[in-house]
Amino acid sequence: MKETVVSGIRPTGNLHLGNYFGAVKSFLQMQNDYNCYFFIADWHSLTTRPKPENIVNSARTILAEYLACGLDPEKSTIYVQSDVKEVLELYLFLNMNAYLGELERCTTFKEKARKQPDNVNAGLLTYPTLMAADILLHRAVKVPVGKDQEQNMEMARKFARRFNTMYGVEFFPEPQNFSLSEKAVKIPGLDGSGKMGKSEGNCIYLMDDEAVIKKKVMKAVTDQGPQEPNSQRPEVIENLFTFLSIVSTPDTYQYFDEKWNDCSIRYGDLKKQLAADIAAFNAPIRERLAEYMANTELLDRIAREGAEKARESARKTIDEVRQIIGFRR
């Protein structure tokens, strides 16, 4: 029997190269080897007060991008969180046994509260319990998450242990952080600030066309160039070589590596090549994305069918949880 994997993404914007190489690329392999549930976490997005008219469209866009990247609804269960109402019931049960102090100590809560001081809502406080409900609902054993979610994963394990202990059962497994590769892929931003991210405004999106990509890449931060042969590359230049290693051919990488080492590198040439290679990578995804976005009927059908599969798993869990707690099934 295949192990169960669960992963969710908030529909707060389009997918970028960091999302693809940091997560989605691994999902493409996982869907062949595991029982995968990939969901679009639209309830989580309510903590930031999205406009009502954007909620459905944002979820639909992420779904289209997932499909354009190669996620297959025949191999994995892809669904929108709000279509699986059982999540809320488990969220309620977990909240009844979650304590104010432990939730207030969560780093993610402190950071979000600092970023949005005028909207420190209960949803921010109980984010770890909703995340735990998403995971435990399918009794997942593996969850691919980044380092920023490690504390919330520990909370999910804590809630699973607490439920099992309180009711004298071994019902929920303790989900573990999971990565297919030993070293997580970190895609840098083009502004030299580190990780690529939507909030940093330094992204290349999968939907970006050749002209947009070239404009962004040509603005990438560089330095004055190597001053000595075979010198160590500073971070802003290493970032560009990281991109080359991911989207370009080995020969291309080697060419610019040699140019760096003999101090003859021209950043303009490197950027033009990098922009062309990123555009070539994006092109087939963009084409498939345009096809999916033009067929909302297909997207909605895939979402419905995914929700039905997810609810089948969710109902089994909730029925047993209700019985364990003492409610009628």
Q: H/E element holding 5?
A: strand 4-9
What is the pLDDT confidence band of residue 143, given thresholds at 50, 70 and 90? very high
The pLDDT of residue 33 is 95
Question: For residue 154, is pLDDT > 80?
Answer: yes
Domains of the chain in sequence order = 4-185+295-325 (3.40.50.620), 210-290 (1.10.240.10)
More confident of the two residues 89 and 183: 89
Distance CA 273, CA 253 (A): 10
DSSP codes, 261-297: HTT---HHHHHHHHHHHHHHHHHHHHHHHHHHHT-HH
Give the torsion sign (CA, 311, 314, 320, 323): negative
Distance CA 204, CA 296 (A): 25
Q: What is the mean pLDDT of residues 106-114?
A: 88
Question: For residue 183, is pLDDT > 80?
Answer: no
Which residues are annotated as catalytic? 112, 195, 198
Residue at 39: amino acid letter: F
Give the torsion sign (CA, 292, 295, 299, 301): negative
pLDDT in tens, 26-37: 999 999 999 999
Phi, psi of 126, rounded to the nearest 5 degrees: -100, 20
Taking CB atoms within 8 Å and a gap of at least 24, the contacts of 287-292 are 288/67, 288/68, 289/64, 289/65, 289/68, 289/206, 289/207, 291/68, 292/63, 292/64, 292/67, 292/68
Tokens of 47: 């903590």
Tokens of 82: 């709000």
Question: For residue 147, is pLDDT > 80?
Answer: no
Distance CA 205, CA 286 (A): 10
Predicted model pTM: 0.91
Tokens of 51: 């406009």
- Helix, strand, coil shares of the chain, percent, nearest 5, are 60, 5, 35
Q: What percent of the chain has pLDDT over 70?
A: 97
Q: What is the mean pLDDT of residues 5-19?
A: 92
Q: What is the mean pLDDT of residues 237-245?
A: 93
Q: Are 162 and 25 in contact (CB under 8 A)?
A: no
What is the pLDDT confidence band of residue 184, given thresholds at 50, 70 and 90? low
pLDDT in tens, 279-292: 999 999 999 999 99
pLDDT in tens, 206-231: 999 999 999 999 999 899 999 999 99
Torsion of CA 198, 189, 15, 28, to 10 degrees: -140
Distances (CA, A) of 234 to 53, 219, 222, 269, 275: 44, 17, 9, 18, 20
Residue at 116: amino acid letter: Q
Report the candidate in 2, 19, 3 with the shortest Cα–Cα distance to residue 205: 19
The pLDDT of residue 193 is 67
The pLDDT of residue 36 is 98
More confident of the two residues 294 and 116: 294
Lowest mean pLDDT among 71-85, 161-175, 181-195, 311-325: 181-195
